[in-house]
Structure 1
């Protein structure tokens, strides 16, 4: 499936940047094209303010424009496909390592069958609020998902993405998002309510989204996780392998 790291990274980074651009636009945010990707702005100091998909050369003037657009802090999500000259530029401008991620990928030539014994379906318009509350509850370590006010919500309408909900005995127990861009299935936003963990729900959500994407012609799937997390283990169990590391660089 993977011919070389550079070509793979350019394809996956571009797909992630375009999907995040759709999410940002659907949520009413603003975007600035930069370095083959985008800088996304949702509001002052919003946690999703960042630039990503930076695979083309970025001049110092371009970087200054991104910094002015995002405000403080400036966060850049970078991959091995970034132009090598960018690292020296970031050092001169006082950037520091903020966080690491791993980009996971797998071919969909032989997709996994959906998990059996778990009810999972794409959410409809009436379930979007529930979906956001359940996923937020998973991230916030909350069982009382009905009382959760999500710090931000995934806007599925107009984003070209789908939310998936998993149920245990009819009760919402977890969720995850799937975007599709140019044959790339982008899995993100996985969250399982604490009291339902240990039942394989995240792996079931991954399998359901892979099957859904394969039916729509995708040939590769990817997801990002922090290193050494339960999410990493779930994706590895579903046949994903690390494609390359990613680093978030921050300033201000």
Structure 2
């Protein structure tokens, strides 16, 4: 049953995988992406000098009792020329906190669903035989990055950066990369991070020309199966509310843990 304890575990799993990912990128020689991680109270703040997207410059874990740290958090981003983006969990915030955010010049900019399920071993006996799922090899991160960039609208000149920032995770404990091919053509990818008996499905994407063929459903089933093999008690994932990813996760047996609110500086 959904509870504050379960919600706290889902939230912490998101913090755990993001922190480990950012640390791995930071540990690249010379810290080429300018990664910084700062923690205060229950809150973890992430920053990247070269990657301006909100996902790399976000505030996780912020809650009502951290309101005393708000000005310091805003200063952390303002001093680096970056707007702050807060991810707020419904059961962790109250009217006072949201009113204070509004007074400081922030506004609610979006919603995002966090999904969860109990991992179980699955069978793919009835699945399309033309689809093949396997682990990515160490020398295939350019393939991974090409799918990542083309699927998310990033330009091709971002492929070397995406490849480098993900290859550092290949031999890092708890990280698993999957490639889905259809008729032997690489078409989709999925990523999983395992920590504290929780599997986080941290990224998934399909090339536009291969969408609607069931690839993401297969990747979800594969990762849920792998999470069960890893003896995980929980599998979690994030998606845009009522998106195709949301529908795929529901079909795979996942359900909503909470819908978090995104708050951004004007």
Cα 1:114–1:76 shift into 2, 3 Å: farther
When the two structures are aligned, how many residues end up with a matched partner?
A: 244
Query: How far did residue 237 of structure 1 move?
Result: 0.8
CA deviation after TM superposition for structure 1 residue 161, in Å: 1.7
- Contact 2:58–2:85 (CA<8 Å) still a contact in 1? yes
2:30 paired residue number: none
Q: Secondary structure at the match of 1:242?
A: strand
CA distance in 1, matches of 2:249, 2:132: 19
Which of residues 136, 141, 145 in structure 2 aligns to 1:128?
A: 141
Decide whether the 8 Å contact of 2:190 with 2:219 is kept in 1.
Answer: yes
1:67 has 2:77 as partner: no
Q: Which protein has the bigger helix share?
A: 2
More displaced 10-residue stretch of structure 1: 35-44 or 171-180 = 35-44
- Do residues 26 (structure 1) and 24 (structure 2) align? yes
Do the aligned partners of residues 233 and 196 (structure 1) sit closer, same or farther apart at CA in structure 2, a change above 3 Å counting? Answer: same
Per the normalisation by structure 1, the TM-score is: 0.88
Change (3 A) 1:134 1:239: same
Structure 1: tracts of 5 or more residues without a match:
none
Instruction: Give, in angstroms, the shift of residue 69 of structure 1.
Output: 2.1
- TM-score w.r.t. structure 2 length? 0.83
Which runs of structure 2 are paired with 1:45-84 in the superposition (5 Å)?
Answer: 46-47=52-53, 48-55=56-63, 57-60=65-68, 62-71=69-78, 72-84=82-94
Gaps of at least 5 residues in structure 2 are 27-34
Shift of the 59–26 alpha-carbon distance from structure 1 to 2, 3 Å rule, reads same
Backbone CA RMSD of aligned residues: 2.3
